[in-house]
Amino acid sequence: SSELTQDPAVSVALGQTVRITCQGDSLRSYYANWYRQRPGQAPLLVMYGKNRRPSGIPDRFSGSSSGNTASLTITGAQAEDEADYYCNFRDSSAKIWVFGAGTKLTVL
Amino acid sequence: QVQLQQWGAGLLRPSETLSLTCAVYGASFSAYSWSWIRQPPGKGLEWIGEVNHRGSTDYNPSLKSRVTISEDTSKNQFSLKLSSVTAADTAVYYCVRVSGFLEWLEYYYYLDVWGKGTTVTVSS
């Protein structure tokens, strides 16, 4: 199955650590990518591959994977991290992109 | 710095054809694949399709019968056409660059540059 499952909402206290997860059988074969989307803005790539951060993304963002679950961890969450986060991957066999439904992160 | 500038009609009537174009600046157009993704109001992201560096295309199976993505390498542009639109096609449409890396003989892909988005509303 190419489906990805994300928790609809997660909250974290300012300065604390939060893990956002993405589950799917295909993640045993593919890396998940992660995107942050603030209200009214286009998505922004924050993590790809095996814990690769694009230029400009703070090092408080990290990625990991275990079995069928990929995780995006924010260590020391900031107010500006409040956003929707989407995971995805490209299924090279089926030649399609698959997105999770997104997780709304609230920073308290 | 790579930039994607997109444009197209923002208001359509049911049964019309949606047409959007995306111009690529600051990147080698032929070295990448290029995708279209949409987001209905208040909902998540949906991949529509893409054109690769060889000019061949892949489409979301749920939209394949209505979608055409093409490229104009002379202008560094790629385009989306979606026919027979309905209210369900109301969304923000994004053009996106596809990048990839090789690891252990396998390519992995990610979407690293996004256009600002075009709001398309279908209403009678």
| Chain segment B36-90, per-residue pLDDT in tens | 999 999 999 999 999 998 889 999 999 999 999 999 999 999 999 999 999 999 9
Least Cα separation, residue B86 to chain A (angstroms): 22
DSSP-assigned beta bridge partners for residue B115: none
Q: Render A70-89 in DSSP notation, one character per residue.
A: EEEEESS--GGG-EEEEEEE
Least Cα separation, residue A20 to chain B (angstroms): 16
Task: Report CB contact under 8 Å: B44, A86.
Answer: yes
Task: Report CB contact under 8 Å: A90, B109.
Answer: yes
User: Which of B101, B106, B116 minimises the CB distance to A42?
Assistant: B116
Report whether pLDDT(A2) > 80: no
Percent above pLDDT 70 for chain B: 100
The span from the CA of A61 to the CA of A19, in Å, is: 10
- Mean pLDDT lowest for which of A39-43, A48-52, A102-106, B120-124? A48-52
Report whether pLDDT(B102) > 80: yes
Q: What is the pLDDT of residue B112?
A: 97
- Nearest residue on chain B to A8, alpha-carbon basis: B44
Interface test with B, best of A55, A90, A93 (most B CBs within 10 A): A90
The answer to whether B63 touches B80, Cβ cutoff 8 Å, is no
Q: What is the pLDDT of residue A1?
A: 63
Mean of the per-residue pLDDT values for chain B?
96
pLDDT band, very low/low/confident/very high, at B104 (cuts 50, 70, 90): confident
Q: What is the largest CA-CA distance in chain A?
A: 41
Task: Report CB contact under 8 Å: A96, B45.
Answer: no
- Nearest residue on chain A to B100, alpha-carbon basis: A49
**Residue B60 carries which side chain, given as an amino acid letter?**
N
Mean pLDDT value across residues A12-27: 97
pLDDT band, very low/low/confident/very high, at A25 (cuts 50, 70, 90): very high
The span from the CA of B31 to the CA of B52, in Å, is: 9
